[in-house]
Structure 1
Amino acid sequence: MIVKRWKRGIATLAVTVLTATTFTAADATEAGHWCWDSWAQPNADLSGTRAVNGPINSWTAPFLRPAWSVPIKAPTDRWPGAYAATPVVVRGVVYTQDLDSNVYAIDLRTGRLLWTKMYNSHTNGPNGVAVADGMVFGATLTEAFGLDARTGREIWRHKLTRNTSEAIDMAPGLHDGTVYISTVPSFLDGGNAEGAVGVLWAIDARTGTTRWKWNTVPADLWGRPDINSGGGLWYPPTFDEKGDVYVAVANPNPFVGTEEFPWGSSRPGRNLYSNSVVKLDARTGKVIWHHQVTPHGIYDWDLQNSPILTKVRGRPVVVTSGKTGYVYVLDRATGRLLWETPVGKHNGHDDDHLLAMEGKFDELPTLPLELYPGALGGVAAPGAVDRRTVYVAVNNLSATWENQTTPSLPPLTEGRGELVALDLASGRIKWSHPLDSSPYGGTSLANDVVFTTTFDGVVHAHRTWTGTPVWQAKLPGTSNSPVAISGDTLLAASGWPQNEDERAEIVAYRLDFGWGKYAGAASARC
């Protein structure tokens, strides 16, 4: 009798959830099934919202259970492990990439590995793939590629890097037949990547030929290419209704400086377009506007997270964030700053870059300096938005700058963090919930529940209105990657085992009561 009553309760809950979830006319298929949003782009959609609808919400999230897991093939004994990507889901297939650039196609329902394309090309990430028109797009350390989505067969490959100081470590952006991939300065060999210019490439999706390219920083690197480098993208661009491209450009180097040229004095001035949001014309790559948040950056505080496109009271805006530990909202038409809000721990050095740019070295701190946010701190991975709120995961991990060139970090296991919700209209912090471990995976949204992952291998789910925890799950090991959501299934990964008991795996969690499988089937069909 208790079991029967429990089942009736679940059936009632299912009806309630289906009624309460917001749908549009496009959500129904001709067969009469609901067609949920799928995670079809690295940041869920072209606007980078990292938000989907579907049957997972704050009421149903507690019913998520492990459904399958797939081992990750890349080695796990190097920085930063084997996996740092966000999967994408297209027509019931999960596509993703490990940190050896190997590409996986996995059946969403069963976890069966459909194919693997092995590249064995190590990158720091965060990498990943994008999918459209029957093709999968991504990159190795040095080359962009296009694969057949059904078989994994390589259709084209195109080298983007000019020298060993440059690399690729991002998931591509993809819109209207064009693939967008950027190079960045490479620190894999432990050097300063001297002479590296981060270049954004716009590539024809079918052929791999170049349509245009744009230098995110000047080719002469502010007069000292023998010392300086900079720019490039960590995360994919986003795209508005007209097709214009929005990018967030990373920092200049060296940071802090060198012993001969302290405080970035080898690269005088603002160092455009580093640490900037830039709007580009998709046809030509021409800059429409830019907004630089940290001129002459000195503390490795990248503005690395994909810009998010949304509206505030009908006004189109851009939301961005990064290792500065700030969230910014800009007017989408002009790039004018509307508000900025610090999040997480800061200890009084947010404006040191301005003093350095002005040559006021005597007003800068004496090294060594313990700094918040640290080199891995602030908003380390992309945020998510709904209609009223932006959600970010903040990493409160310090860095100590022993000298001009060498920061030291505490053990990563000592990091702590916060999950923060900010009002889109004002920048006011609505709530903040502490996290016992560093969040390197950013945030993802499904209706009224926001997800993040933490370094200790925990997936967290919190109610969007209050920040109240509603569910969590322990992954097979340490995690430094986000979650993706498709229908009734949530995808997460443990990518960096810290001991022999941990495993590097992609894990699917699925709603475990009966109606969920039909919702998932509908998702697989979309």
Structure 2
Amino acid sequence: MTLHQALAAAFSLLVCTATFASSGKEWPVFGGNWDHQRHSQSTQITPGNVGQLDLAWEFDTGVSSSFQATPIVVNGVMFVSLPFNHVVALKADTGKLLWRYTHNRIKDRPMCCGPANRGVAVSDGKVFMGTVDSRLLALDARTGQKLWDIDVTKGEQGVQEDAATLGSQLDTQGGKLEVSGASGAGINMAPMVFDGKVIVGITGVGYGLHLDSPDPDAPLGAVVGIAGNYGRRGFMAAYDVNTGAMAWKFDTVPDQGWEGEFTKATLDGVVLPRNIEEEKAKAAQYPDAWKFGGGSAWSTPAIDRDNGILYFGTGNPSPQMEGSSRPGDNLYTASLVALDVRTGKLKWFYQQVPHDMWGYDVASPPVLFTTRHEGQAVKAVGQAGKTGWFYVHNRITGELLFKSEAFVPQHNMFTLPTEQGNVIYPGVIGGSNWSPVSVDEQRRMVFIAGIHWPVKYQLHELKAKGNKPALRYSSMSPIEDGEKYGLLSAIHLDTGKLVWQHKVNAPLIGGVLSTQTGLVFSGEGSGEFFALDSITGKRVWQHNNSAGVNAPPIAYEVDEKQFLAVAVGGNKLFGFKQGQTIKAWALRVK
């Protein structure tokens, strides 16, 4: 018997039931538990012994690219989706390869949002994954064999504009920048499985172009907004775990009433620079704007199983940053949305930014917990916004209970672009981007990975020249020579007050893990994987890696031994060095 056959046989013994059961000390779903709290109950690793952590194993994936996945661990097996949608199954205590699935991507379908995937779901003896080419797959959890494969957009990728055609008119700083990006449809989020259905949503539908440096290690140059009929509307949908047949679908942009009430301010009272009368007058000119409306579903949904409610965030409207061709509030974009998990029917929504023109997607996954409000315990859902506030809602009614103190600096927010360029922060980068938070209900804190990176919001008016017509567009460019950094913040779950902040040298993107023993783990783009004391916010441990740690860490146990694991693969968008490994740490054996 070969080593591979022996491992496969051992794996078959591990996977002996149709549905995986969790011991409470594994990592069976994207957020660690159904509430997405990313809080480990394991107690072996403490503030007192965290300095004794050693690298337990390392697995070379062979794929060097932006790596964002959360590993899933059930019954001693780790399942990880790699960039470009390959999947590996590893022994969680040693990192030994059990099987590998190699994804054959549809080549003529462009990746709108890069090759990164945020994880798989494991249930019913299957591994489920959404792909960058808008497919949903089911693999046999024992062997990695593909069981079914559906195209969730059925070939409809939305209206696209050739990037090269439009890009030839943009200001590329004398050819120093390259034009990329287009409308499309893909899946970045890790699915969730509930009641025999696998639930997932599509991304990339909010049309936009990027201006990028040709240097593979350089960060994003600019995000561009151009008016027009580009893109498509997003959706969240549920599919049968055995056949892939669609059970329900919720469109993130309604075909009736997407204009909303033409509100002059956000629901929490921030006045917006909108000309409501002009928008209403133009509305009849754009009756089909909803068809191109955007609203990507970026974040894995959290599910309240007791009340049967699913929560997720939606992306910016399309076209991004340019509102002239989409009058109105552009429902339900830039919103936290609650659905009936069994039917997909809308329960409520809270639009953080009506008629968004700043790229303030609701990108970080929602988290469920109990808060105390006006002396009463209230079941709540929270979400860390790109705006820099943590929003806390009554999870049944959607009422905003409070928003936190700002967890990143704020300046010139909700201002329009000018020809000279307005410096604003947070901008299109965030705030909190897609990074998931962690919640420690016992200590009454939520831990948020935050970004301070000022951007220049500029209006461009290009005159007609030769055969090129006049063009008006806006751009939002990260300011490279300005101050930028990351903040890991602890915020009180009942008051929204900042408890402490830990500053790091570069913007934080990846995610947070907390533990019952009082530790908070996260990673930096420079390669540090670190631990803080959850009470004080002081750094108590770190391990340096050769690539950026820009994925969410997890904790789990195998044979009563606790491990920490994270993907070490960097992030192209932020200019963090890319790599290709999965690493796990455990306490040093004495």
Shift of 1:407: 2.1
Distance 2:577 2:328 in 1: 50
**Gap change, CA 1:36 and 1:336, over 3 Å in 2:** closer
TM-score, length-scaled by structure 1: 0.81
Where does residue 491 of structure 2 map in the other structure? 422
Shift of 1:479: 2.8
Matched, 1:53 2:53: no
Distance 2:405 2:576 in 1: 39
Shift of 1:411: 4.8
CA RMSD in angstroms, aligned pairs only? 2.7
Matched, 1:40 2:109: no
Where does residue 247 of structure 1 map in the other structure? 312
**Gap change, CA 1:210 and 1:265, over 3 Å in 2:** same
Where does residue 281 of structure 2 map in the other structure? none
Matched, 1:205 2:279: no
Output aligned runs, 1:6-155, within 5 Å.
37-54=25-42, 55-74=44-63, 76=64, 81-121=65-105, 124=114, 125-141=116-132, 142-155=134-147
| CA deviation map 1:410-467 (0-9, x unaligned) | 4599741111011100101111111112210121112111111111111121111111
Where does residue 186 of structure 2 map in the other structure? 167
Residue 256 of structure 1, aligned match among 293, 301, 321: 321
- For structure 2, the 5+ residue unaligned runs are 1-21, 106-110, 159-183, 211-223, 260-286, 460-472
Report the AA paired with residue 196 of structure 2: G
| CA deviation map 1:292-331 (0-9, x unaligned) | 1111111111111221111114310011112111111111
Q: Is the 8 A contact 2:125 2:141 kept in 1?
A: yes
Report the AA paired with residue 184 of structure 1: T
- For structure 1, the 5+ residue unaligned runs are 1-33, 258-263, 353-360, 515-526
Q: Size of the alignment, in residue pairs?
A: 460
Output aligned runs, 1:208-247, within 5 Å.
208-219=244-255, 223-225=287-289, 228-240=292-304, 241-247=306-312
Q: Is the 8 A contact 2:525 2:576 kept in 1?
A: no
Matched, 1:431 2:500: yes
Shift of 1:35: 5.3
**Gap change, CA 1:500 and 1:250, over 3 Å in 2:** closer
**Gap change, CA 1:501 and 1:378, over 3 Å in 2:** closer
Where does residue 436 of structure 2 map in the other structure? 382
**Gap change, CA 1:501 and 1:271, over 3 Å in 2:** closer
Where does residue 509 of structure 1 map in the other structure? 585
| CA deviation map 1:119-161 (0-9, x unaligned) | 1546533521011121111111210011111110111111112
Report the AA paired with residue 403 of structure 2: E
Q: Is the 8 A contact 1:476 1:505 kept in 2?
A: no
Residue 465 of structure 1, aligned match among 532, 535, 539: 535
Q: Give the secondary structure class of the aligned counterpart of 1:405.
A: strand
Report the AA paired with residue 51 of structure 2: P
| CA deviation map 1:172-208 (0-9, x unaligned) | 1222221111112256985979232111111111211
Distance 1:71 1:405 in 2: 41
Residue 390 of structure 2, aligned match among 327, 337, 358: 327
Where does residue 180 of structure 1 map in the other structure? 199
Q: Give the secondary structure class of the aligned counterpart of 2:200.
A: strand
**Gap change, CA 1:420 and 1:92, over 3 Å in 2:** same
Q: Is the 8 A contact 1:61 1:471 kept in 2?
A: yes
Shift of 1:106: 1.0
Q: Is the 8 A contact 2:385 2:391 kept in 1?
A: no
Distance 1:394 1:126 in 2: 21
Where does residue 16 of structure 2 map in the other structure? none
Shift of 1:250: 1.5
TM-score, length-scaled by structure 2: 0.73
Distance 1:295 1:206 in 2: 39
Where does residue 337 of structure 1 map in the other structure? 400
Distance 1:42 1:511 in 2: 24
Residue 444 of structure 1, aligned match among 505, 513, 537: 513
Q: Give the secondary structure class of the aligned counterpart of 1:438.
A: coil
| CA deviation map 1:339-392 (0-9, x unaligned) | 11243444433344xxxxxxxx7xx76651222113222112111111111110
Matched, 1:489 2:525: no
**Gap change, CA 1:405 and 1:228, over 3 Å in 2:** farther
Q: Give the secondary structure class of the aligned counterpart of 1:181.
A: strand
Q: Is the 8 A contact 1:423 1:430 kept in 2?
A: yes
Matched, 1:480 2:522: no
Shift of 1:70: 1.3
